[in-house]
Amino acid sequence: MIGYKTLAVPGPTNMPHEVQRSMQIPLEDHRAPDIPEFTKPLFSDLKDIFRTNTGEVFVFPGSGTGGWEAAISNLLTAGDGVLTSSFGQFSSLWVDMCRDYGMDVHNCDVPWGEGVPLDKYYDVLSSDKGHAIKAVLVCHNETATGVTSDVSGVRRILDELGHPALLFVDGVSSVASLDFRMDEWGVDVIVSGSQKGFMLPTGLCIIGVSSKALNNCSGSSVPSGYFNFHQMKKMNNDGYFPYTPAMTLMRGLRASIDLLNNEGLSNVVARHNRLANGVRAAVDAWGLRNCAVAPKWHSDTVTAIVVPETHDANDVISAAYHNYGVSLGGGLGKVAGKVFRIGHLGWLNETMVLRVLGGVEMAMRDVGIPFQAGSGVGAAVESYTDSRQNLALAAE
């Protein structure tokens, strides 16, 4: 196919040219005497991205799944109580991992399209008088359904009840894209990955760990070698790693952080909200519905779009890719064949989103989904230009 292909999945995301160029370097000695001059400022700046002054941020070769395993293996032991909720493919997989590790899982099964149920969390935690629950899990942004949950609300419940459980957060598709505040929200472990908001290839697992969590590491009986937080911290203090790090990716991470800081984290968050609003306007104009059942759940990094019951979402995905070179996210688990997903995070602007929406419209016409051609693109254009005008007025 002539021309660029369009990447519109919720990860991996588009990679900026600056990040690509930063990794086009000869391989280097990861134990060289001057490596700490690079790594120590990188560790410090990562803490700013996670918005923590008191915690540590560790970079492991791996993916978000490795981050889940790191949190469990460092901080929990078989038989510990964990409070979880499943409302999509990724939140459910984290629950499954806890069960595989032998945890006593108290799971709240939530309809897909909703998020973490604060009322149920409150009920479970308030009845846990003996504090058998050692960790509370929150999937901040469920990529399968395009749902964002209220992390700070969970912290308020823990504080109100005086419950000492650790707060674990899956932030793979939220950190560096959505508003996230590790210290302010009292998050003990936040797991992220390189291939989404950080605009890098897959391969880095980036984990924020609170001082409270680090002090609890000695209480786990689960073996943790590769992901051992204390071993990593000891070596990181000197600017090194306990094993061979992915230095090429970390050079890219340096460039990514520079781009995020140059834009400003508050502006990054506002941009993602602006882009998402345009996509949601398009969905409404098409006469379709968002998988996220209410605005309070709407994600600013990915939108899962429900197709009519008479159609298969996989046909839209196939037509978009083969006919127009647009990669859309497929439905996973319970929503397979029912939704297609548009990722709108990372290195992205309004015209790039409009290109995606145009491809979606052509694909939907190809498979016979009824809608007014141009309606979604037009609604997004109105959303984006109106928001620009509002920004200009606010600046006057």
pLDDT per residue of the chain (396 residues) written in tens, 0 to 9:
788 999 999 999 999 999 999 999 999 999 999 999 999 999 999 999 999 999 999 999 999 999 999 999 999 999 999 999 999 999 999 999 999 999 999 999 999 999 999 999 999 999 999 999 999 999 999 999 999 999 999 999 999 999 999 999 999 999 999 999 999 999 999 999 999 999 999 999 999 999 999 998 865 666 668 899 999 999 999 999 999 999 999 999 999 999 999 999 999 999 999 999 999 999 999 999 999 999 999 999 999 999 999 999 999 999 999 999 999 999 999 999 999 999 999 999 999 999 999 999 999 999 999 999 999 999 999 999 998 777 766 666
Q: Where are the domains of the chain?
A: 6-12+264-395, 18-262
Tell me the three-class secondary structure of 297-312, residue by residue. Answer: HECCCEEEEECCCCCC
Q: How far apart are the C-alpha atoms of 201 and 156, rounded to whole Å?
A: 35
| Class in CATH terms, 18-262 | alpha beta
Q: Report CA-CA distances (Å) from 272 to 173, 174, 202, 238, 248.
A: 12, 10, 21, 36, 27
pTM of the entire predicted model: 0.95
Is domain 6-12+264-395 annotated with CATH 3.90.1150.10?
yes
Helix (H, G, I), strand (E, B) or coil at 42: helix
Q: Is 222 in contact with 7 (CB distance < 8 Å)?
A: no
Residue of 353, 55, 42, 24 lying closest to 194 (CA atoms) = 42
